[in-house]
Amino acid sequence: MSPQKILVMGVSGSGKSLIGQQLGETLGLQFLDADDVHSAANIRKMADGVPLSDDDRRDWLRDLAGYIGRDQGLVLACSALKRSYRDQLRQADPALSVIYLKGDIDTIWLRHAERRDHYFTGKQMLQSQYEQLEEPNPEEAAIVDIRQSPTQVLQCCLAALGSRNDE
């Protein structure tokens, strides 16, 4: 089997970084957090509570697609809120597996309240992500409910990847 390239997507606070990192460790793949690729201008904008626009995300998505295209195996944690964003990432590798960490706004807002030292601030920012979110369907992504423990979420992700690889 060739090295996997996996996108772990969802709104901020859904657990993309934690689960993505654990997937990378478990599967022996490099992990990349898309937050670490944002420009300083985008980070300042989000820290000021201003949601990013498609224009703000253009170069960021191009850079992320570059990682997908270059790396042999990769787990990328990225919000990838819109289908067009996921399509742009998939252009770098059509075999990109997508896992959608799905959760309701109340569950995720409770998680945000516990976060420290993160530039993503304010419930309005989270609400704007839900307004932009174009949820993937089961044909596009494995959908994993985040109202479980991180260990259970990881196991669901691994099971979903295994079943998708068997197709």
Q: Give tens-digit pLDDT for 84-114.
A: 999 999 999 999 999 999 999 988 887 766 6
Q: Whole-number mean pLDDT of the chain? A: 88
pLDDT value, residue 1: 43
Number of separate domains in the chain = 1
* CB distance 130 to 81 below 8 Å: no
pLDDT in tens, 46-83: 778 787 889 999 999 999 999 999 988 999 999 999 99
Domain ranges, residue 33: 5-166
Half-sphere exposure of 91 (CA within 13 A, CB side): 11
Residue 22 sits in a domain of what CATH number?
A: 3.40.50.300
What is the value of pTM for the model shown?
0.89
